[in-house]
Amino acid sequence: QKEVEQNSGPLSVPEGAIASLNCTYSDRGSQSFFWYRQYSGKSPELIMFIYSNGDKEDGRFTAQLNKASQYVSLLIRDSQPSDSATYLCAVGGSNYQLIWGAGTKLIIKP
Amino acid sequence: NAGVTQTPKFQVLKTGQSMTLQCAQDMNHNSMYWYRQDPGMGLRLIYYSASEGTTDKGEVPNGYNVSRLNKREFSLRLESAAPSQTSVYFCASDTLGGEAFFGQGTRLTVV
């Protein structure tokens, strides 16, 4: 059974600080890695994707991938109250089917 | 640009009733998906269609059927609704390995 694990939270971070969200996966053949943000009552929307080991930066967001450790993370710098949401990690295997984590609820405190 | 359009947004069914959830995408994506989302369990794949004319079971297909009507449309049918099917349902589409786009969701309650 292919699995994607996330800490359910809630993760509480002060406004302006760095929020660090983590995800581990079980399938060593995984090829693609996605972070989605989901506001309460809304549908998921893509924040970042990463395919290669290392870091990928996009504005305040940085995705980090370590395939040897089967670990992917999302850093949010200068956290804002509008970043409060549930963050879903999704991992694509060799057939590109996505396996989803249960999500981490992030709360940014003003 | 509508993206993925999913109807209805809300539905209440009595146990044993049937219904069809409709989904259409205008992004020319080959792949379409139906997920359910329950509290604390993330997104679970019900059925998917990798291309027009094909459908396959996902993680939780029991109690559901699907139809890929054409490249744009992918419907999900509950033949005899059960309380265990109370959930939020999302339709999504993507290009294989690419970004998935989601519909706005259907909140289904079976009483």
The tens digit of pLDDT for each residue in A15-39 reads 999 999 999 999 998 989 999 999 9
Residue B96 pLDDT > 80 = no
Say which of B41, B97, B104 has its CB closest to residue A96: B97
| CB-based contact B65:B34 (threshold 8 Å) | no
| CB-based contact B7:B105 (threshold 8 Å) | no
pLDDT band at A77, cuts 50/70/90? very high
Are A102 and B40 within 8 A, CB to CB? yes
- Give me the pLDDT at residue B99, please: 84
| CB-based contact B66:B77 (threshold 8 Å) | yes
More confident site: A78 or A8: A78
Chain B closest CA to A80's CA: distance in Å? Answer: 24
Question: Which class for A105: exposed (0-12), middle (13-18), buried (19 or more C-beta within 10 A)?
Answer: middle
Find, in chain A, the residue whose alpha carbon is nearest to that of B91: A43
Chain A closest CA to B26's CA: distance in Å? Answer: 17
Q: Report the phi/psi class of residue B53: left, alpha or beta, with left for phi > 0 and alpha for psi in -120 to 50.
A: left
- Give me the pLDDT at residue A96, please: 63
- Give me the pLDDT at residue B44, please: 92
